[in-house]
Amino acid sequence: MDFVERWFGVSPDGGDGTTEALYILALCILVAAILMRRPLRRWLTRWRSGL
């Protein structure tokens, strides 16, 4: 996992891959949030109407 080093020519984490792992984790969280936005909104609407 050294795509940052290859693409940009810098090594922010000293070559151990931590930065790349954090980028991938952030991307996965972003994709999950985008995919779950509509179902979560529906669930919240139903939950609020039941109060």
Residues of the domain holding 31 = 20-51
Whole-angstrom Cα distance, residue 2 to residue 24? Answer: 12
Q: pLDDT at position 51, please?
A: 67
Residue 5 lies in a domain: no
Which one-letter amino acid corresponds to residue 46? R
Per-residue pLDDT of 16-42, as tens digits, reads: 888 888 889 999 999 999 999 999 999
Whole-angstrom Cα distance, residue 31 to residue 26? Answer: 9
Question: Structural domain tally of the chain?
Answer: 1
Residue 11 lies in a domain: no
Residue 38 lies in a domain: yes
Residue 33 lies in a domain: yes
